[in-house]
């Protein structure tokens, strides 16, 4: 399914404004009329701002869609001036390892993936002979038995 263009302009690191919905393709341009300026704050795992990306969009819904495209390994807070519009969370999984006696080996490994299946595949590559549990939020996605 092809992604639909959004009625937004994006400003990367506050130095360049790029249209993501121009009829003639990707163009450099000044902020358009009838749009609202938004800022997406990319946050580290402790909630501190790593960087900000400013962009113009027609409305909150378009701005949320634009910000959702930026979500990778980090959470994003979307703001329009002094109003928090949304928080978009990266999908993080926790992988807990157990030794052959069933004792927890800490700390947990964080896996960022866009689906349970992708997280399971990544966890499977990392567990080796150890037992492990893959968690998302407050529930177990999969238990991996130790390989003796």
pLDDT tens track for 58-71: 999 999 999 988 88
Closest CA to 38 of 15, 16, 67: 67
pLDDT (average), residues 39-65: 93
> Does the predicted TM-score (pTM) go above 0.75?
no
Answer yes or no: is 136 within a domain.
yes
Pairwise CA distance, residues 91 & 75, whole Å: 9
How confident is the model over 102-124, as a mean pLDDT?
A: 87
Number of domains observed in the structure of the chain? 2
Confidence of residue 27 (pLDDT cuts 50, 70, 90): very low
Same domain, residue pair 84 and 40: yes
Last residue of a domain, one of 88, 107, 122: 88
């Amino acid at each position: 399914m092809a992604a639909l263009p959004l009625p937004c302009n994006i400003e990367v690191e506050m130095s360049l404004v790029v249209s993501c919905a121009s009829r003639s393709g990707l163009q450099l341009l000044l902020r358009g009329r009838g749009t609202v300026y938004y800022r997406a704050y990319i946050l580290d795992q402790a909630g501190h701002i790593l960087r900000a990306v400013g962009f113009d969009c027609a409305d909150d819904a378009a701005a949320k869609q634009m910000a959702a495209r930026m979500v990778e390994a980090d959470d994003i807070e979307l703001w329009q001036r002094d109003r928090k519009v949304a928080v978009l969370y990266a999908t993080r999984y926790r992988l807990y390892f157990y030794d052959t006696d069933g004792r927890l080996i800490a700390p947990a490994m964080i896996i960022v993936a866009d689906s349970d299946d992708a997280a399971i595949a990544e966890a499977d590559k990392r567990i080796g002979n150890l037992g492990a549990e893959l968690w998302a939020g407050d529930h177990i996605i999969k238990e991996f038995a130790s390989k003796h």
